[in-house]
Structure formats: structure tokens, C-alpha cells
Amino acid sequence: MAMPFSLTELTGRSGPGFACLPLPDIDGALAELAYALDELRLDGVVLFSNTRGTYLGDPRLTPVFDELQRRAALVFVHPNPSPDPSAHALGLPDSLIDYPAGTTRATARLHYSNTFSRTPDIKYVSHAGGTVPYLAGRFAIIDEMNVVAGAEARATAARTFRRLYWDTALSWGDPVLRMLRDVVGIDRVVFGSGYPYLRRDLAVSCRQHIEASPELTEDERTAVLGATATTLTPRLAAHTPRDRRDGVAL
């Protein structure tokens, strides 16, 4: 699993730990959630963008999101391939188009199903929102047109995106950082490499790029490379970050 940040990256120690919930099995997911957070004391959970075509935000998943909200849980949204065979007909890697599209579908569904608005205490992290930063203007148009029911019960997409967290996995280029700054704010961005979904040398070079990027101030660089992660996983704050320029977030 490509985690958005790692305790190894910050301190050389192992962690953090996330549990994968067995959706769409609601009872199984609730049992796993309780075991993971109460017994194993893990830091959060992973939810895949879709399971057999059921995307996050589907009403059938409401009991799980209600419990995640009650616990103010940390939730890492990771893409799953689309179940639609036509999405793979081009013979291209899923990470090129399908994963960003899947993250975008899940984010849009969570927003327009009002799941985000009903779960203000959940700390959501995703791979730079898929294509959401690029499509932010289109979300604004849809909000202005008021063509999706339930608008009175949710904030605009623009306001919602600024309370989510976004990692840099396969999304560390300067153009993406500029979009993230404009759409969500760099204070909501955490480091992620996408390793082991890409080669180790590429994962290492992505950190090196962020360290050298002219798009970031030194304070912002420190935040992206670890400081913001401590706000999401408070136990990390008990460790002193150390400089590991050859490190890779797992």
C-alpha cells in the first residue's frame, strides 16, 4: 500500500499503520474498524475509491462513515481500478489515467452525496485528489448551476476541498504544486511517493524534487515533508524528525 506519509520517513522508526476495511461488507468493515483502532491501535484506515463499482459516498456505506465520523478517524483514500472494461481498453497503466479518474470519481461522489459535509471530523487524505485540482473550476460551475440535489446541506466544493488533505504521490511536479496551492493550500499537502507502485529511484527523486522545488518556501517544504503529518497522526509529534535525504515514504 502506498501510504501518504510514513513514520519511517520522519524518524527511521516503523509506522504509521492503516487498516484496509473489507467494503462493501458493512458489518465486516465495522468489526475491522473497531479491531484496528481499539485493539491494534493503528493510526487510521484505507478506503478504496471503489469496490466492485460501488464508489465511496454510496448511501449503502453510510454506517461506516458514521462510525468513522464518531471516531474522528484518519482516512486514506486510495484508487482502485475501474470495474468498467472500457477504462482499460487502451492498454495503458492504471496509474496514468484510471487511478486519477477513480480518485476524482470518489471525491466528487463524497462531496455531492453530502458525505463530506456529514463527516466534518474525518481527516481525509488522497493522492492529490486525482484530477480534482485541474477540475476545480468545473466543480465551481456545477455548484453555481445548482444541478445536484442537496446543495443547501453542503458547503461549496471550493470550501470543502480546503479542509481535505492531499498527498504528492505521482503528483510532485511544480505545475501540480501550483494547482494545489491555488485550490487547497500548501498547508493541506503531505508527502507521498507512490512507492512501491513505481521504482525506488523515482520515489527517491520525487522527494529530491520537493526539496529543491522553487514553488515552496522553506516552511512549506518542512510542512509537506513531515510537519503536517504530525497534525494528522499526533503520536508522530513525540519523535524528532531527522533529515533523511535518501528516504522513501512507504
Helix (H) or strand (E) segment spanning residue 167: strand 165-167
Domains of the chain: 12-164+172-189 (3.20.20.140)
Band (249; pLDDT cuts 50, 70, 90)? very low
Please give the Cα distance from 161 to 184 (Å, whole number). 6
- Would you say 210 and 222 are in contact if contact means Cβ atoms under 8 Å apart? no
Q: Kindly tell me if the per-residue pLDDT of 7 is higher than 50.
A: no
| Phi/psi of residue 19, nearest 5 degrees | -100, 140
142 is written with which cell numbers?
456545477
The pLDDT of residue 239: 61
The pLDDT of residue 6: 41
179 is written with which cell numbers?
494547482
CA separation, residue 57 to residues 48, 60, 243 (Å): 11, 8, 39
> Which distant-in-sequence residues (6+ apart) come within 8 Å of 133 by Cβ?
166, 176, 179, 180, 182, 183, 184
Q: Kindly tell me if the per-residue pLDDT of 8 is higher than 60.
A: no
Burial of 59 (0-12, 13-18, 19+ CB in 10 A): exposed
- Assign 3-state DSSP to the chain and report helix, strand, coil percentages, each to 5: 50, 10, 40
**What is the CB neighbour count within 10 angstroms for residue 85?**
7
- The model's pLDDT over 186-236, given as tens digits with 9 standing for 90+, comes to 999 999 998 888 899 998 999 999 999 999 999 999 999 999 999 998 877
Mean predicted confidence (pLDDT) in 21-47 = 96
